[in-house]
Amino acid sequence: MEFLGQVKASFIDYPNKICTVYFVGGCNFRCPYCHNSHLLKDIGESIDEAQVFGYLEKRRNMVDGICVSGGEPTLHAGLEPFLGEVKRRGFLVKLDTNGTSPGVLENLLKNKRVDYVAMDIKAPFEKYEKVAGRPVDIEAIKRSIDLVRDLSADYEFRTTVCRELLEVGDVLEIAEYIKGSRRYILQNFRDCSSVLAGEGKLTPFAKEELDAVKDKVSGFFNEFKTR
């Protein structure tokens, strides 16, 4: 595996843990709100596995594990052996995924390569391609949702919201579909210079819109959060 960026110590990417985040390049989606547009073009600081393990061993007493993010990690053939080695060394693994590779996900979960999955649910299914910016195999997304719920030791589903792509009713539709899941996180869009659509093009939900979702769905999940 080659990574294109790192956050050395994150307190926010893995619930209740300190982790090092590694970003892969490449993604099969083009979400307009993507913050990592440089990764979609495979641009970044190259980090190889030896550097990852060297860093983790030095920080063994400071970090609980890693988060593999992107880009889309499940597109990389080396992911499973890499995560196997991370686990063999005794670190926790969180995987961020867009859920387009249920076969890879199933393998990782069945072989206990992952301790926590954060899966994006981009939109209600009829709007998925508009938000993902690419053709989407909806059955693959549904299969990944089921796998995460059935096989992952711990997990969250999450949706990024901005006014140009989603409405409150869309989020309610997603929440209804995944009702009964452990955690659902609503991530409000934050603008920055690396946003794929360009800075200043997208608008976050207003507080009233976030509150409207919260009022209706917080009872659907063990934990519901907006951030």
Interacting residues toward ligand SF4 by CB under 6 A: 27, 29-31, 34, 36, 70-72, 98, 120
Least Å distance, CB 179 to ligand SF4, is: 23
- Least distance to ligand SF4 from the beta carbon of 116, Å? 17
Q: How far apart are CA 77 and CA 153, in angstroms?
A: 23
Which residue, 3 or 56, has its beta carbon nearer to ligand SF4? 3
Least distance in Å: CB of 120 to ligand SF4? 6
Distance CA 209, CA 205 (A): 6
The least distance separating ligand SF4 from the CB of residue 36, rounded to whole angstroms, comes to 5
| 40, 70, 93, 198 from 35: Cα distances, Å | 10, 10, 22, 10
C-alpha dihedral, 107 to 3 to 77 to 122, nearest 10°? 60
Nearer to ligand SF4, 158 or 182 (CB): 158
By C-beta, is 30 or 182 nearer to ligand SF4? 30
Burial pattern 104-122, b for ≥16 Cβ within 10 A else e, equals bbbebbeeebbbbbbbbbb
Proportion of the chain in helix, strand, coil states, percent, rounded to 5: 35, 20, 40
CA 78 to chain centre: 19
Nearer to ligand SF4, 4 or 213 (CB): 4
Closer residue to ligand SF4, CB minimum distance, 56 or 74 = 74
Closest approach of Cβ 135 to ligand SF4, in Å?
A: 14
